[in-house]
A and B are shown apart, each in its own frame.
Chain A
Amino acid sequence: MGDLNELYQEVILDHNKRPRNFQVLEPASHHAEGYNPLCGDRLTLYLRVQGETIEDIGFQGSGCAISRASASLMTDAVKGRSVEEARSLFERFHRMVTTPTDLPVEDLGKLSVLAGVREFPVRVKCASLAWHTLKAALAREERTSTE
């Protein structure tokens, strides 16, 4: 049985209360919107990519504690990294939250606090929303800046 304290760890509650990079980036080179119809979570992600590097990142939106904390942690994790590293981190994160609970998972540093969602299958989508939005933003290379 999933332990609530596993899910709602201090770090998660803190990122929910004071999300990092909670801002609109102006101008942004990439942006995408994420939506989880199950719970109505909405997220808009902004990226400023220079060459191969994610120079800055920001997000806005409303959602549950898990999706908000995950978005906050994700932005911290990929800021300053290369696009390739961010993509690889998406894969590793995805693997972490979808691996059955009886199997070991890779240590992803701060992001590992979200491994607890594995015990709560309906919440995996909440934790993944920001990451899927990141993937979409990078794939579409959509330019939204008005510069």
Chain B
Amino acid sequence: MRAVTDPPLAVSTLDVERIRQDFPILRRRVHGRPLVYLDNAATTQKPQAVLDAIARYYSETNANVHRGVHHLSEIATDAYEGARAKVRAYFNAASDREIVFTRNATESINLVAQAFARPRLQPGDEVLISAMEHHSNIVPWQLVCEERGARLRVAPIDDAGELMFDAFERLLTERTRIVAITHMSNALGTVNPVREIVRAAHARGVPVMVDGSQAAYHMPVDVRSLDADFYVATGHKLYGPTGIGVLYGRETLLEAMPPFLGGGDMIASVTFERSTWNELPYKFEAGTPNIEGAIGLGAAVDYIRSVGLEAIERHEQELLAYGTAMLEALPGVRLVGTAPRKASILSFVMENVHPHDIGTIVDREGIAIRTGHHCAQPVMERFCIPATARASLAMYNTRAELDALGAALTKVHEVFG
């Protein structure tokens, strides 16, 4: 495997004005106002470096990968595999063989549920998730549990939105075949103690899949230090393009798993009698992959590393504290998700105002927030609310943008007061 060139050394503090220059979309206006983009938990904006990498791929190297002997196919393959090496380094996996490109985190989870869990599940076995999961980390397990006659168990969360660790441990039984849990809640912002979760599960011989869709762009993720068996992420939240997802899997586990999808590229040989599978990670990448997506994602993780995840984390934590204090000071506003360890998510409700109305009014001020159940209906039920408004932060957000949100919420209060 080729070596990854180290990105430039990260600066210790983050120059947010300089960073904003790298994101062309932040220059546009919405409803006549400068765009204030606070819907990062849904998808992040893309830096110029990512847009350039995609354009360069199509204008200079477009060819299919892993098959041609011609020059372009060779350099397209190099670029695609180079992106894999960058992603491997980003998550500090041991080998490129452990990084599978998928369509998104959802597909990665389905891959683990179908190719890893399904053959192992017997009637009466259990899959353990938590009460703060996104639908994408619930439904794939329901499907596989239903088919195998297994049971989906759910570890509860408390009123702050924190995992109740004792209850989680009690739900780890001799029937538990896998734990599937989020690293960070998209609806509440809670950051789970993944290392402790993995330790508790491994002590009982239970493998753990971590959903890193939200965490991976807010904090450094080291899959070896977390000791996770599987870790999934999605490109479009990592400042990269849509349509590209990541599955990290421990090599021994991936090796033992049957393929997920069949087709070209994932085979070693095919006859009508039988086919044999390609080596890792290609066994799990059937068909022509999303080459531009992988290359864009490679450029995105390069960009994140050039800014530095520690600096990003510090900047976002500072903004989170600022936004939390601001929202708490607004009349009638209540934060949903107040765990001691959380990141970048300000989920809130407002007295006598439905989140949908909040969303429409602040949108007229050029402010993009998410309103609704955030694909986490069980979380909403847990807090007995139909929906929340959610402002979610990324590296390019500023205090001034949170002030703009505060002013817009005052306007909401005036309309409905």
Contact = CB atoms under 8 A, between A and B. Distances in A.
A8 B415 contact: yes
Nearest to B353: A65
Contacts of B58: none
A54 to B, nearest CB: 27
Interface SS majority for chain B: mixed
Contacts of B386: 40-42, 62-63
A96 B363 CA distance: 24
B32 A39 contact: no
Nearest to A5: B415
B373 A40 contact: yes
Given A1-B31, A40-B373, A40-B380, A7 B354 contact: no
A64 B354 contact: yes
A64 B416 CA distance: 12
Contacts of B32: 1
Interface of B: 31-32, 352-357, 360-361, 364, 371-373, 377, 380, 386-387, 415-416
B280 to A, nearest CB: 39
Contacts of B354: 39, 62-65, 68
A4 B357 contact: no
Contacts of A42: 386
A66 B354 CA distance: 10
Contacts of A63: 354, 356, 386
Contacts of B355: 39, 64
Q: How large is the interface on A (under 10, 10 to 19, 20 to 34, 35 or more residues)?
A: 20 to 34
Contacts of A13: 415-416
A67 B354 CA distance: 10
A103 interface: no
A126 interface: yes
Contacts, number: 51
Contacts of A64: 354-357
Nearest to A120: B360
A40 B31 CA distance: 26
Nearest to B387: A40
Of all A-B residue pairs in the complex, the 8 with the closest CB atoms, nearest first, are A64-B356, A64-B354, A40-B386, A39-B356, A40-B387, A65-B357, A40-B373, A64-B357
Nearest to A16: B416
A65 to B, nearest CB: 5
A65 B361 contact: no
A131 B295 CA distance: 48
19 contacts: A4-B360, A4-B361, A4-B364, A4-B415, A8-B357, A39-B355, A39-B371, A39-B387, A40-B387, A41-B386, A62-B386, A63-B354, A63-B356, A64-B354, A65-B353, A65-B354, A68-B354, A122-B360, A123-B360
A126 B416 contact: no
Contacts of B353: 65
B364 A126 contact: no
Given A39-B354, A65-B357, A68-B354, 13 more contacts: A4-B364, A38-B372, A39-B355, A39-B356, A39-B371, A39-B387, A40-B380, A41-B356, A41-B386, A42-B386, A64-B357, A65-B353, A66-B357
Contacts of B373: 40
Interface string A54-91: 00000000111110100000000000000000000000
Contacts of A2: 364
Nearest to B371: A39
Most buried by A among B353, B357, B387, B415: B357
A39 B354 CA distance: 10
B159 to A, nearest CB: 21
Interface string A109-145: 0000000000010110010000000000000000000
B409 to A, nearest CB: 14
B187 to A, nearest CB: 12
Contacts of A65: 353-354, 357, 416
A18 to B, nearest CB: 12
A14 B332 CA distance: 19
